[in-house]
Structure 1
Amino acid sequence: MIDFLLNGQPRHCEARPETSVLELLRETLGVTGTKEGCASGDCGACTVAIGEKGPDDELRYHSANACITPAHQLNGRHLVTVDGLADGDNLHPAQSAMVECHGSQCGFCTPGIVMSLFTLHEEQRRETDKALAPLTPQRLEAALGGNLCRCTGYRPIRDAALSMNEHPEHRPLWMDAAAPEPKAQHAADESPFAQPTTLAELTECLARHPEARLVAGATDLWLESTQRLVRFERLIDVTRVAELNVIEETTLEDGRKGWWIGAAVTYTRIEPLLEEHFDAFAHLLHRLGSSQIRNRGTLGGNVANASPIGDTPPVLLALGSRLRLVGPEGERELPLDDFFLDYKRTALQQGEAIHALFLPHPVAGETLKVWKLSKRREDDISAVLGAFAWRLEDGVMRDVRLAFGGMAAIPKRAARAEAALEGKSPTSAAFQEARLALSQDFQPMSDVRGSAHYRQVSAANLLERLRLVIAQDATDSPREVMLHAYAH
């Protein structure tokens, strides 16, 4: 059973494991303001807001794609849809701004756009001094990047976003009310959707049902339901496991400093950490889906999914990350290099799950560059992604790690190309040898995102771009290798 608040009203619902929030709203509850567009988390027509308490015990709302969010994850949460924004006859600022600026065209996408503006407005409300945090083009793009307008009328929508704070603050009081306490679900329960809250409960669930599918953000798993009509017999939701939601700074036995990031930590939560220590990694997040996806998707899920074109695994490989796994035999650790075995096949044994990922602290002089090639700049899957880490010591390259996505059946480091650059000066000759070595490291396949030839040439060109970047850094010239864009 699912106990939650829908637009301030308590709801008690029963649903199958694969039921999405969108299906629960439209088919079970008859709340039809939220629309279905793509059913794959791309268009944003189904955007809703989910409220839950943060680490400071305050209620916060985040945007989510209702079409790929498991309905059972609403348990003990607030759900706000476009149907509930108005306070009686008074419109919410997100709604009144859209009316004033003529931001609604055919109206099909409008509910999702209004809900994205609502969560943006909620963020702005929490800022004590709006003058210090203006709505920059980057922030607006991040907030609305996951909402497509089929009528191509983005200008009035942008105008509405910029003028929301000029409208009266009509906000229902129930938006700050406490959500119902979720009922504890123990591993011994035979419910097909389990929500353990501790690592011990998760381990017990896995021991009892090793065949169950694990779900966190569901940004990829739920496509099996919406696109392939798969029915899940049993799911284990890891998002409530306390130990999987922790970011802990630590020092390993070998002396390396870094952070253990719980497998259920979302991209949105780790973004401040990446912005402070890994600028290139943080930059990549702006191109990893939309804000709706980043609010739900997790680093652990992206690794466990083992897609050869996942965005974060090549970066983690380039940084030398490790994994901590948990299962019936206890915990074990292994380098991320040893985790990916073959297409969609990993080192996870039956009944095991990822507990946390180790993100090493940057060492002195280390540089990280990440470049993603895709057909669209925003909200698209990569054709090729290159992540490169290295140090320059006395004019030669040390600790060279070159990792690629889209070049093999798994995310993989280019061992021969690395060897061609290790201990060498970053000359044209050294990089020419590294580019030639790539043909031995990878034999990519052709698919709808690019041919094998395109991928081979593109990967080699990314190495040439790396050479140019290193050469540029050695000069005082302000010119850039490529024109800079917000999320290139």
Structure 2
Amino acid sequence: MAPIRFVLNGEDRSVEGLAPTTTVLQYLRGPERLTGTKEGCAEGDCGACTILVEQPDGAGGLARRAVNACITFLPALHGRAVETVEHLGRDTPAPIQREMVARHASQCGFCTPGFVVQLHAAWRAGSLTDRQSVKDEIAGNLCRCTGYGPIVDAGVAVAAQAQPDTSVADAATAARLGAMRGAETFRYEAGGRLWLSPGDVDALADAYAEHPDATLVAGATDVGLWVTKQHREFPVMIDVSRVADLSHVEEAPGRLVLGAAVTHSQAMAHWTALHPDLGEVMRRFAGPQVRNAGTVGGNIANGSPIGDLPPVLIALGAVLHLRRGDEARSLLLEDFFLEYGRQDRAPGEFVAAVEVPVIEPEERFAAYKISKRTDSDISAVLAAFKLRFEGRIVVAARLAFGGMAGTPKRALNAESSLVGRPFDAAATARAAAALEDDFQPLDDLRASADYRLKTAANLVERFRLELLGGVPTRIAEVA
């Protein structure tokens, strides 16, 4: 067993005796008394707890990302560095701090540290380019006073400012963190609870085989809520975020393969290149802090019927790769989801990668996210369609939906109604009628069953209108 070793605001830390489910926020505000990092929601929605996490990038430098401290478990910091808002202005105010002050961008002040750290991280990453990019970068931060205007102005002002050259310091920090991390599986235990962090996929397979009832975590964007909201306890947790074999992206002829531990932020450019609609869906997926932590494999393995990514990948015909011990198998993603809360995954078996076919020239694709808010909101309906044409005739159809059933699911009856015919108004009317045989949606707080069925049918018609061309169906972003 070993202590949790990390760097906090430039100083080494070695922590033991705290439960593995202790959140970074609890540690910062408790033992460290770093109260600039706030607790707003304790579920990764408001961004008041945003911190900057650094880790070696494999090329001698550092990879930086902003994450929510409220749902990040303390052992996940092992071999990494953390910077809080108190450290940004240790010598001189950071550019975003100066611009926030100059524009009176803080009102009650509660949310301000989170905005500062998030915008600082985005600036360091080169993600601030214009006003819309600033809005995108703070989609995971809420201002209780609704004072967004000056905050956005401060972000725009920072976007044009030059980046500091920290390559020498970054290399030194990367080496320091590498020595802390070590090459073996990190094992941390406290209060009879165990945290394992394997360094490669074979070690992960062995650990999960030994502990098949363990809870797998990557970004903990869902498991974190099980702790903060449901107060659940986990005897064994296995962190997959350090498994390099699961963090690869492979672009090959005809397909895109993403390892299960690839974060949504890392996958963003690849999704956008695959199809702009997929990139747009994922731009509206949570906020940057959640996308920086959450993973492709986690969103799939979680099995949520309202997850945004699975319906899109089902429509594209994605194949899931799983591993259990030394055995590997593959299956169509749509076959992985059996019923609500149950997937085709044996004890000790984990998602290793997802393989996505590219869209062929004779195919047409679209994806639509319907939610009450534009940003950082759960979908009421997520629809994704792929049609293959020969001339004007549909020869193959894949219509997939989230939020319409207990699992992400294809609309097989609606698909059959389209195949062999032109994709015209009569076809979409048939599909609308068939959707009632495919789904019996639930009524809940997000939408009624009637709304969901009507929306699903309208989205098929919307797809047809867009394929016609020249028919505006999408509302432009409000400046």
* TM-score with structure 2 setting the length: 0.93
CA shift at 1:311, angstroms?
0.2
CA shift at 1:329, angstroms?
5.1
Higher mean displacement: 357-366 or 438-447: 357-366
CA shift at 1:186, angstroms?
3.5
Matched with 2:429 is 432
Picking from 465, 479, 483, the partner of 2:475 is: 483
SS in structure 2 of the partner of residue 386 of structure 1: strand
Aligned residues of 2:363 and 2:387 also touching (Cα < 8 A):
yes
Picking from 146, 151, 170, the partner of 1:157 is: 151
Count the aligned residue pairs: 468
Counterpart check, 1:308 vs 2:305 = yes
Matched with 2:261 is 264
Matched with 1:4 is 6
Aligned residues of 2:130 and 2:159 also touching (Cα < 8 A):
no
- Distance of aligned partners of 1:370 and 1:91 in 2 relative to their CA distance in 1, 3 Å threshold: same
Matched with 1:48 is 51
Matched with 2:396 is 399
CA shift at 1:486, angstroms?
7.8
SS in structure 2 of the partner of residue 192 of structure 1: strand
Q: For residues 145 and 265 of structure 2, what CA distance do their matches in structure 1 show?
A: 29
Matched with 1:196 is 198
* TM-score with structure 1 setting the length: 0.91
Residue by residue over 1:11-43, the C-alpha shift from the partner in whole angstroms, topping out at 9 and shown as x without a partner, is 111231211111121123222110000001110
Q: For residues 478 and 333 of structure 2, what CA distance do their matches in structure 1 show?
A: 30
- Distance of aligned partners of 1:462 and 1:11 in 2 relative to their CA distance in 1, 3 Å threshold: same
Matched with 2:185 is 186
- Distance of aligned partners of 1:110 and 1:259 in 2 relative to their CA distance in 1, 3 Å threshold: same
Q: Aligned partner of 1:485: which letter?
A: E
Counterpart check, 1:31 vs 2:25 = no
Matched with 1:236 is 238
CA shift at 1:361, angstroms?
1.6
SS in structure 1 of the partner of residue 13 of structure 2: strand
Q: For residues 185 and 155 of structure 2, what CA distance do their matches in structure 1 show?
A: 44
SS in structure 2 of the partner of residue 306 of structure 1: coil
Q: For residues 317 and 376 of structure 1, what CA distance do their matches in structure 2 show?
A: 25
CA shift at 1:233, angstroms?
1.6
Higher mean displacement: 289-298 or 452-461: 452-461
Aligned residues of 2:4 and 2:188 also touching (Cα < 8 A):
no
Matched with 1:129 is none
Aligned residues of 2:388 and 2:397 also touching (Cα < 8 A):
yes
Q: What are structure 2's unaligned runs of at least 5 residues?
A: none
- Distance of aligned partners of 1:158 and 1:50 in 2 relative to their CA distance in 1, 3 Å threshold: same
Higher mean displacement: 163-172 or 440-449: 163-172
Q: Aligned partner of 2:155: which letter?
A: A
- Distance of aligned partners of 1:91 and 1:435 in 2 relative to their CA distance in 1, 3 Å threshold: same
Counterpart check, 1:68 vs 2:71 = yes
Aligned residues of 1:245 and 1:265 also touching (Cα < 8 A):
yes
CA shift at 1:250, angstroms?
3.9
Matched with 2:111 is 109
CA shift at 1:134, angstroms?
6.8
CA shift at 1:344, angstroms?
1.4
Counterparts of residues 435-454 of structure 1 (less than 5 Å) = 435-454=432-451
SS in structure 1 of the partner of residue 353 of structure 2: strand
Q: For residues 84 and 177 of structure 1, what CA distance do their matches in structure 2 show?
A: 18
Q: CA RMSD in A?
A: 2.1
Residue by residue over 1:159-202, the C-alpha shift from the partner in whole angstroms, topping out at 9 and shown as x without a partner, is 21122267798899966641423144538887711000111100
Picking from 334, 352, 366, the partner of 2:363 is: 366
Q: For residues 468 and 346 of structure 1, what CA distance do their matches in structure 2 show?
A: 36
- Distance of aligned partners of 1:366 and 1:53 in 2 relative to their CA distance in 1, 3 Å threshold: farther
Q: For residues 293 and 187 of structure 1, what CA distance do their matches in structure 2 show?
A: 24
Q: For residues 8 and 171 of structure 1, what CA distance do their matches in structure 2 show?
A: 17
Aligned residues of 2:308 and 2:402 also touching (Cα < 8 A):
yes
- Distance of aligned partners of 1:170 and 1:282 in 2 relative to their CA distance in 1, 3 Å threshold: closer
Counterparts of residues 321-360 of structure 1 (less than 5 Å) = 321-328=318-325, 330-360=327-357
CA shift at 1:319, angstroms?
0.3
- Distance of aligned partners of 1:166 and 1:460 in 2 relative to their CA distance in 1, 3 Å threshold: closer
CA shift at 1:148, angstroms?
0.7
Report percent identity of matched pairs: 42
